[in-house]
Amino acid sequence: MTACIQRKGMLIIISGPSGTGKGTLVKKLMDSDPSITFSCSVTTRAPRVGEMEGVHYHFISEAEYDRLLAQNAFLEHATVHGHRYGTLRAEVRQALERGRNVLLDVDPQGALSVMEQEQDYVSIFILPPSFSALRVRLHTRNTDDPAEIERRLRNARGEVKNIHRYQYAVINDDLELAFVQLQSIINAEKQRTIRFIPTIQE
């Protein structure tokens, strides 16, 4: 007879400054681990090239965002770089109750907000190898003008100062190494007895 295994859903918070490559790491993690459900946030900004409604974000109007805010529908919400973002509380809770592992890819402001409200979570901060490398990455992706890049760099310096509030940190200098480290964290957390409840037979 094999062991009877019960699992509880795990809330995974992955955060870090813009341009650290956390989106790429999240995609690799999602592709490799079918137990993880991506929490699709809402945002008032316009879609970037390649972004799809309901896959990367729910793209909504300012009026719809205000309506959800008034209904206390967000687990976390924040204004980042002039745009508003939010994680829908009901979607996250429903997935966790079904035993799914829910991944939040959120900015540091939103991550800290979730950590203040939730008790059981796994929080991981993605770092660039240096601020000069981060500047290069922000320029290379060609999605922001120079003034926006400078604003994101200023924000990054402040965001890194809160790294002690996260449980784990991963430096994304080598993508494959960072991914292996991220996988190791998730796999270890899956085996914690607050979530992994095996019952063995006599």
The mean predicted confidence, pLDDT, of the chain is 90
Residue 202 maps to a domain? no
Q: How far apart are CA 123 and CA 56, in angstroms?
A: 20
Residue 104 maps to a domain? yes
| Pair 16, 125: CB distance under 8 Å | yes
Q: 9-63: per-residue pLDDT in tens? A: 999 999 999 899 999 999 999 999 999 998 888 999 988 888 888 778 899 999 9
Residue 199 maps to a domain? no
Strands (E), the chain: 4-7, 11-15, 36-38, 42-43, 58-59, 74-80, 83-88, 101-105, 122-127, 168-171, 196-199
Distance (Å) of CA 149 to CA 6, 72, 82, 181:
46, 32, 13, 28
Residue 200 maps to a domain? no
The residue range of the domain holding 14 is 4-191
Residue 160 maps to a domain? yes
Q: Domain holding 121: CATH number?
A: 3.40.50.300
Residue 185 maps to a domain? yes
Residue 93 maps to a domain? yes
Residue 96 maps to a domain? yes
Under the banding of pLDDT at 50, 70 and 90, the label for residue 126 is very high
Q: In total, how many domains does the chain have?
A: 1
Under the banding of pLDDT at 50, 70 and 90, the label for residue 2 is low
